[in-house]
Each structure stands twice: as structure tokens, then as C-alpha cells.
Chain A
């Protein structure tokens, strides 16, 4: 077997404190060459701080940052082989599009002809040829972020850092930009580290997702694995839209939920307290009397184009269960329904008995 190639980015036990606040708590992470890795988490979870530590805008309180085998923990931002796309468009307002994109090359002392060629290539990459002479105020928000992307990519960074670059855009533009980012990633083969609080964006874009919570890594994995097999109730709730229900596992692959015995995944926990993770698209509703025995009342229905979303109140459970149905019969408000789900697609997570 060939030895594992060096990771493009390696973070070793990175801890960062702002005064008394611990923003990052012993984070270790490897990003492989050419990978699209997303740091996902709610605001204030430390993901942006981590990105800024990789960029060199913050120096970690503890730990090391290694880029391509070289320890850059103490290297200032302007000498790191990484470039960043910021949350808000940060084009230099006194320069036109061409000079914005050329900024890094000019600083690096690249020859005039090469600057022209590479800026041209970069603008082609983001499909903004012909926009060279435009200024900030002549561009839309999406165009500005594409120029910012070109301005970073033109320097052929070892790692491209993206700090919620789409969060200021309208939904429609955001979806277009996601496709654009995936294409640029494919075409350039560059390593992308992307920060977002939008789990949908993370699932759509990434090769791997790193879920953050309160300065710690909760789970690292491919999008479908994180979605299907969340490592913690937090991940289950944050990635996708899960029902996380406190249950008791009983021998024979069943769980007790609201006084009823329901089938459970056999690879889960053999016995005792557990969390049952029910994805809304796994939950099936049917007319009462069809067999499962777990009954509830529809308390809310909303139409979502591809189907309906229901909130079903089940006696003995603190929160209604969310269900998404794409086919089958529709139900009305206050209808009594029976709930069922595929146990194999509904993982169990350990729970200490006193957790609610």
C-alpha cells in the first residue's frame, strides 16, 4: 500500500480563547488535497474562528496549524499560501474588477502579460468575461462574490477558504452560486474549506462535513453518512430536520415509545435508555387500524410542492413528530393517524437515563 499523502491542512489540538470565552476547544482535523470540506455549525460555534486561524487573522491560543507539511501557526496572513472569500463582498471599492482580481498577482510581482492572462482565465472561470472595467456598484451581490472568488483563485492558493460566502445572497442566486462553486472546485481541483451554518448547503456542496458545536467537533464524515448516522442528538437535530425522541430499548430489537413497542434497528443499542432519530422523510402516516399501533393526531399540515409536511401530536411525547409525505393519501387537520417508519433508517443513539 502507498503511504497516505500528507494532508493539505492539518489542525492539531487547536484551542482558542477570547478572554474567558473558549471559542475552540482542542480541535483536530485533516483536510486532504483537493477535498471540499465544510465546517458546519450554528453561529458562535467557532467555525469562523477556525477558518480565520487557518487564514492567519487569528493566532490560536494553543495548538498548531500545518499547511502542506509546514507549520504556519506563527506565519502572518500575508505569507500563507491560502486565500479567502469573505462573508460580505470585500472587493476593493477604489479598483475595478480587473484590478481587484489582479491585486494578489501585482503584490507578488507577476509580469504584466502574465497578470493579463491569469486574470482573463480567472474571469472566464467565473463567467464574467467582459466585466473587467466594472466597479463594485455596477455588480450584483452574486457577481461581487464571483469576482471575490476569482480574486482568490487567481493566486492558485493551496487552500481556498470560504466564510459563508453565499449567506448575503437571495435564495435563487445562492442555488446558482452553489452549482458555480461545485464546478469551480471540480475544474480547478483545489482544496476548499467552506464555513456555513446552512446544513442544506453543507450537504449539497461537500465531500466531507465537520459538524461543530460549542467549539468542539461533533462529527466528521461524508454528507450522507452524517445525515443517515448522526453521531449525537445535536448532529441529528442540526443536520437535516430530525425528530429526536427519548426511548427505552427492550430486548428483541424493539423500543418503547409513548407506551408502545415499535421495531428498532438491530445494530443499535441492545437495552436501556436511547435516543431514536426519526428523519421526517422516513416517517410514514397511515389511516388508523393499519397495524403499527402508534397513534397521533395531525396538528399542522403544510404543502411543500413535492409533498406535505405534517406535525403529529402523539400522546406521551413532549413534541409533535414531523413527517414528510411525498405520495399516498393526504390527511387533514385533526385527523387521527398511525405512524410507522423503517427501523433500518432510524438510528439509535446512547442516552443517559436522566436526560430528558
Chain B
């Protein structure tokens, strides 16, 4: 590819965009270590007091545990159901395959507000009390298409002939899945599952509608904000950021790691391109 001329204009715009994106985050993280209760400059010195305060709060601990429970349950159930759905969609020869896949991806386009509200109505109609279970169900609805998008792209990229070779060598469909398909796509599936975890862990809007009396971390931040404004909020946000970031990194490494193909595992940037280009809907080539 030809290298484009560096123009001072492009460089400036790039720098400004990056500043715009990351300065607010950096400021939040910085002030979580503030030694005083001030939330604006000048910065008066470092301290871990806000982290201590946060960790000593029983409400914070309860909210964290709840978030972990919900996110873990969401990630695990998504992994199981999503893998089944992706496998089915990638192996179906039915004419309904493409419309069905589209239907699966539809929630991507729905606003969280709408999902939250409609689930609230549903739960009220069928008289299910709001709890962490309803939150988990709501999160499943929300994260499922993301999981499917990534895993379906990986499964569609699998060489059909490899699975045929497995069957030819005597493996029934289950053994082909376990011994041929799964060993090639598991990193993508686990990566997509940690993406599901991350999405669930800091989800707020949908949770707000269906949570009832319990609390999750984002809910806790929100309720704290209404009472007090001090750097403990920053400390919680920074922690949330850290967990989410970590999971995205894990997910990214597992899903898009370079050179995985040499080791025979589907991955690479092309996968992401394909996922974005709607290859998941297009089906196997």
C-alpha cells in the first residue's frame, strides 16, 4: 500500500480526537487517587483513601458480588446457548437460515431503553418478581447478538471439508463437533463469552428497569451519585473500567490474535472484518 503524505492537519485532528476520547477517562482515574474530596483541578496529591472507603462499604461489596453473579451467569448461559445457535445457523441448509440469523441480530438495533421497558412489561404480565434472575435474563437478551456475531463469523469460516473428513473417519456429529469443530473455534467462543461478561458487568439502562430491590455496580454508582459527589465515585468507576478493560483485552486476544491460523485456530483480523461485513448473516462460503 502506498503511504500517504503526513499532513499537519491530519495529525492535529487525530491528536484532538484521542484527547477528546481519553482525557475524561484519565481525569476520572486520576481523581480516584485524590487526597482530598475535591473533584476538580488543582490536584492536591495521591492517596488510596477513596478506594479504602469504597471497599469498606457493605453496599459496594454486595453490588460487586451481584454484578459478578449476573455477569458470570450471563456469560456462561450465552456461551452455551450462543454456541448452539451459532452451530445451528452455520450448519443449516434451510432457506430460513438467513432470515433467522437476521432475527437473532435484531436486538442489536433496539435501544436499551426499549429492551428494558418491554422486558419490564413482560415480567409484570407473567408475574415474575424483579430479581437478579430477571436482570440476567435481560442481559442475555442484550448480549446474545454480540456473542452470535463473533462466534458465527468464526464457525462460518471453518472449512466444511474438515468436518466431512471427521465424519469420513467415523466420527458421528457429536464427535465431529467435539474433536474437529470445537478445538478450532474454542478461543473465539471463550473470547466472545468474556465480551458478554464485560457487556453485562457495566450494563445500566436495561438493568435499571428490571432489577427491583437488588443492586449492581452501575446501579450502586448511580445511587451514590445522587447522594454525594466525591472521589469514591471515581474509585468505583475506575475499578469498573479496569475489570471491563481486562475482559475486553482477554476477549480481543482470544478472538483476534494474530497468527492463530498457523496453529490451526480460526482468528485474525479478517474475522473481525468479516463479522463487520455481515458475513455472519451471509453464511458459509
Task: Identify the A interface with B (CB < 8 A).
Answer: 55-57, 76-79, 82-84, 86-88, 90, 92-95, 103-104, 107-108, 135-137, 151-152, 155
Q: Are A93 and B164 CB-contacts (below 8 A) given A104-B170, A155-B169, A155-B170?
A: no
Rounded to whole angstroms, the CA-CA distance of A86 and B159 in the bound complex is: 12
The answer on a CB contact under 8 Å between A136 and B264 is yes
**Which one of B164, B175, B261, B262 has the highest number of Cβ atoms from chain A below 10 Å of its Cβ?**
B164
Residues of B within 8 A of A104 (CB): 169-170
Q: Please determine whether A88 and B161 come into contact, CB atoms closer than 8 angstroms.
A: yes
Q: In angstroms, how far is the closest chain B Cβ from the Cβ of A160?
A: 11
In whole Å, how far is A143's beta carbon from the nearest beta carbon of chain B?
16
Residues of B within 8 A of A86 (CB): 161, 164-165
- Whether B264 contacts A107 by the Cβ 8 Å rule is no
Q: Which residues of B come within 8 Å of A, CB atoms?
A: 159, 161-162, 164-172, 175-176, 179-180, 183-184, 261-265
Which residues of chain A are within 8 angstroms of B176 by Cβ–Cβ distance? Answer: 78
Contact in complex: B264, A83 (CB < 8 Å): no
Contact, CB under 8 Å: B164 / A77: yes
A93-B265, A94-B183, A136-B264 known; A108 vs B161 contact (CB < 8 Å): no
Residues of chain B within 8 A (CB-CB) of A135 are 263-264
Contact of B168 among A78, A95, A108 (CB under 8 A): A78
Q: What are the 10 closest A-B residue pairs judged by CB atoms, nearest first? A: A93-B264, A104-B169, A94-B183, A107-B170, A77-B167, A90-B165, A90-B161, A94-B264, A78-B167, A84-B168
Contact A90 B170 (CB under 8 A): no
A sample of 21 cross-chain residue pairs with beta-carbon separation below 8 angstroms, ordered by A number, consists of: A56-B168, A78-B168, A78-B169, A78-B170, A78-B172, A78-B175, A79-B170, A84-B168, A90-B159, A92-B162, A92-B180, A92-B183, A93-B184, A93-B261, A103-B166, A103-B179, A104-B169, A104-B170, A107-B169, A107-B170, A108-B170
Q: Do A83 and B161 contact each other (CB < 8 Å), given the known contacts A92-B264, A94-B265?
A: no
Chain A: minimal CB distance from B48 (Å):
46
Does the CB pair A103–B264 fall under 8 Å?
A: no
Measured CA separation A107–B263 after assembly (Å): 23
State the CA gap A95–B175 with chains docked (Å): 15
Residues of A within 8 A of B179 (CB): 103, 107
Give the residue name and chain of the B residue nearest to A106 (CB).
B179
Q: Are B161 and A107 in contact (CB under 8 A)?
A: no
CA distance A244 to B183 in the complex (A): 54
Set B169, B172, B263: member contacting A93, Cβ < 8 A: B263
CB nearest to A80 among chain B residues: B168
How close is A282's CB to chain B, nearest CB, in angstroms? 42
Bound CA span A86–B162, Å: 9
Q: Once the chains bind, are B169 and A103 in contact (CB under 8 Å)?
A: yes
Q: A78-B171, A90-B161 are in contact. List 12 more A-B contacts (CB 8 A).
A: A55-B164, A56-B167, A56-B168, A57-B167, A78-B169, A78-B176, A79-B170, A90-B159, A94-B263, A94-B264, A104-B170, A135-B264
Q: Give B260's nearest chain A residue, CB to CB.
A: A93
Give the complex CA separation of A209 and B202 in angstroms.
67
Across the interface, which residues of A come within 8 angstroms of B180, CB to CB? 92
Q: How many angstroms between the C-alpha atoms of A151 and B166 in the bound complex?
A: 11
B270 CB to nearest chain A CB (Å): 16
**Min CB–CB distance B182 → chain A (angstroms):** 9
- With a cutoff of 8 Å between Cβ atoms, the chain A residues found around residue B166 in the complex are 92, 103
Residue in contact with A94 in the complex, picked from B159, B168, B184, CB distance below 8 Å:
B184
**Whole-angstrom CA separation of A136 from B184 in the bound complex:** 14
The chain B residue sitting closest to A87, CB to CB, is B161
Taking a contact as CB atoms under 8 Å apart, the answer to whether B170 and A57 are in contact is no
A contact residues around B167 at 8 Å (CB)? 56-57, 76-78
Query: What is the CA–CA distance of A83 and B170 in the complex, to the nearest angstrom?
Result: 9
- Separation of A104 and B170 alpha carbons in the complex (Å): 6
- Give A136 to B262 CA distance when docked, in angstroms: 8
B164 x A57 contact (CB < 8 A): yes
Chain B residues near A92 (CB-CB < 8 A):
162, 165-166, 180, 183, 264
> B261 — nearest CB in chain A belongs to which residue?
A93
B185 to chain A, nearest CB (A): 10
Distance A84 CA – B172 CA, assembled complex (angstroms): 16
User: Which B residue's beta carbon lies closest to that of A103?
Assistant: B169
- For residue A57, which residues in chain B have a CB less than 8 angstroms away from its CB? 164, 167-168
On chain A, the residues within 8 Å of B170 by CB distance are 78-79, 104, 107-108, 155
Which of chain B's residues have a CB closer than 8 A to the CB of A55? 164, 168
| Assembled-state Cα–Cα distance A191/B263 (Å) | 34
Chain B residues closer than 8 Å to A152, beta-carbon distance: 168-169
Q: B186: nearest residue on chain A (CB-CB)?
A: A94
> What's the Cα separation between A351 and B60 when bound, in Å?
93
B184 & A151 in contact (Cβ 8 Å cutoff): no
Closest chain A residue to B176 by CB distance? A78
A56 to B180, CA, bound (A): 18
Please name all residues of chain B whose beta carbon is closer than 8 Å to the beta carbon of A76 when the two chains form the complex.
167, 172
- Contact: A151 with B164, CB < 8 Å? no
Residues of A within 8 A of B183 (CB): 92, 94-95
Shortest distance from the beta carbon of B264 to any chain A beta carbon, whole Å? 2
Of listed B165, B175, B184, residue having the most chain A CB within 10 A = B165
Is B262 touching A137 in the complex (CB atoms < 8 A)?
Answer: yes
Residues of A within 8 A of B171 (CB): 78, 103, 107
Q: How far is the CA of A152 from the CA of B167 in the complex (A)?
A: 12
Q: Which of B159, B168, B172, B263 has the most CB of A within 10 A?
A: B168
Give CA–CA (A94, B159) in the complex, Å: 13
Report the Cα distance A135→B170, complex, angstroms.
Answer: 22
Considering the chains assembled together, what is the distance between the CA atoms of A155 and B184 in angstroms?
Answer: 24
CA distance A90 to B166 in the complex (A): 10
